[in-house]
Amino acid sequence: MPEINEELRKMQNTYEKILEDLPETRESVIPALQLVQKSRGYLPGDGLEFIADYTDTPLANVYSIATFYSQFYLEPQGEHTVKVCQGTACHIKGANEIYEALLGKLGIAPGEVTPDGKFTLTTVRCLGACSLAPVMMVDDKVYGNQTPDEARDVLDEYRD
């Protein structure tokens, strides 16, 4: 299948270019993951394989690192990533109701992207803003003391 090989070769060239300034060592795994994700929007399987080869690190280790840190995504993301905190402080103050309200508004399952490509909804263990519980985050912006209605309204700000 020459077309697939051509695609593969192009992608390899792209990854080579993305990583060209990094040393080809294990210490480069995390920066390489960051660079590939920045370029592709997530970490596709061929990107993880390329990083494993490039840094001479077993693929299983690269995969473990990519799944350990919440900053990395193995699936394509929506234009905006919405995170609802499920840590203890937020849980006690009603984070579940917020999460359910947002799932209902967006009509997606956890981790999915809305059909228009706008949003991905996920949960996190603690956003480090417990005094503002319950907390949600859209991209890099934190929204504290949320009610389900307020949380739904926040999403509308990102619709346009």
Interface residue list for ligand FES (CB under 6 A): 85, 87-90, 126-130, 133, 135
- Let me know how many helices (H) and strands (E) the chain has, helices first: 7, 4
| Residue closer to ligand FES, measured from CB, 18 or 85 | 85
Peptide bond into 134 cis (omega under 30): yes
Nearest-approach distance from CB 132 to ligand FES, in angstroms: 7
Residue nearest to ligand FES (CB): 87
| Residue closer to ligand FES, measured from CB, 11 or 130 | 130
Q: Is 94 left (phi over 0), alpha (psi -120 to 50) or beta?
A: left
Q: Is the CB of residue 147 less than 8 Å from the CB of residue 103? A: no
| Residue closer to ligand FES, measured from CB, 54 or 143 | 143
Strand partners, 142: 137
Nearest-approach distance from CB 137 to ligand FES, in angstroms: 9
| Residue closer to ligand FES, measured from CB, 78 or 87 | 87
Nearest-approach distance from CB 14 to ligand FES, in angstroms: 37
N- to C-terminal Cα distance for the chain? 41
Beta-sheet pairing, 119-124 with 80-85: parallel
Nearest-approach distance from CB 7 to ligand FES, in angstroms: 42
Distance CA 129, CA 126 (A): 8
| Residue closer to ligand FES, measured from CB, 11 or 124 | 124
Nearest-approach distance from CB 116 to ligand FES, in angstroms: 28
DSSP code of 135? -
